[in-house]
Structure 1
Amino acid sequence: MLVESYSFGRIVVGGREYRSDVVVGDEIIVENWWRKEGHRVCVEDLDWLDKVDAEAVIFGTGAYGRVKVDEEVVRLLEEKGVEVIIEESSKAVEKFNELKKKGKKVVLAIHLTC
C-alpha cells in the first residue's frame, strides 16, 4: 500500500484520507497517532512497534520539520536491525513509496502539519 498523496494536514493511503498523524505499515494503520509530547517522538510513542515486521521506519517530521525524534528511539530501532530515516514529511512520503516499490518492509510514522 502506497501513499497516494500528502499535503499539509492531509494524507491519502489506500484510497482513504487521514487528517491526523498516522502510522502506516503492511500490517497496520494507526489512526490519530498520539505522542506523549506533540512535537517529539519518544520510546513510549512506539506502542505499535511490536505489531510490525519492518526493515525500515521512516519518521515524517512535519512540513517544516518541527518534530524531533529522540536518540533513544533511533538506538532502540537500530538495535533491532531496523533502518531509521528521519525526513520532513513530504520527503518521508517519497522515500516510503520508493522503498515500498522496491519490495522493502517499511513503516511510515508521519506528522501531517508543522
Structure 2
Amino acid sequence: MIESYRFGEIVVLGKTYRRDLKIIKGRVYPDWWRKEGHLLQPEDLEDIWVARPEILVVGTGASGVMRVDPRTVEKAEELGIAFEAYPTNKAVHRFNKLFEEGRDVAAAFHLTC
C-alpha cells in the first residue's frame, strides 16, 4: 500500500503526500494535525479509536522526535488495540507487512523530524 517514504514525503497508492497522515481501513486521511505537534495524545486519534483496528502503527518521525503520551498507549490497551511506535521508516515497513498479511491495521505517520 505504501510505496515509499523519505523525510517529509510518503507515497501511498501512487499519490504523494507531504504532510502527516493517517491510514484507517485502507483509506488515507491526509493533513493530520495533533493538538501539540510533537506529542501524540489520545485525542489526536479519535477516528482510529472509533474504527477499532486490531493494530495501530505509529511513525514518530524520521528521527523519532514525536513523543507518545503514555495515556495514548493506555487508551489503545483499553480498546484492545495493539499499539506499536517506531521511527517512521520502520513504521512504514511494519505497516506494509501487516497490511499484506491482511491484518486490520491503522497507522498514523509523522513525516518529518
Band the TM-score falls in, shorter-chain normalisation = over 0.9
Partner in structure 2 of residue 5 of structure 1: 4
Identity, % of aligned pairs? Answer: 42
Q: Structure 2-normalised TM-score?
A: 0.94
1:93 aligns with 2:92: yes
Contact 1:25 1:106 in 2 (8 A): yes
RMSD: 1.2
What are the ranges of 5 or more consecutive residues in structure 1 without an aligned counterpart?
A: none
Q: Structure 1-normalised TM-score?
A: 0.93
Comparing 64-73 and 19-28, the one that deviates more: 19-28
Q: Distance in 2 between matches of 1:22 and 1:78?
A: 22
What are the ranges of 5 or more consecutive residues in structure 2 without an aligned counterpart?
A: none
Comparing 18-27 and 92-101, the one that deviates more: 18-27
Post-superposition, which runs of at least 4 consecutive aligned residues in structure 1 deviate over 4 A?
none
Q: Distance in 2 between matches of 1:56 and 1:96?
A: 9
Partner in structure 1 of residue 61 of structure 2: 62
Contact 2:49 2:76 in 1 (8 A): no
Shift in Å at residue 43 of structure 1?
1.3
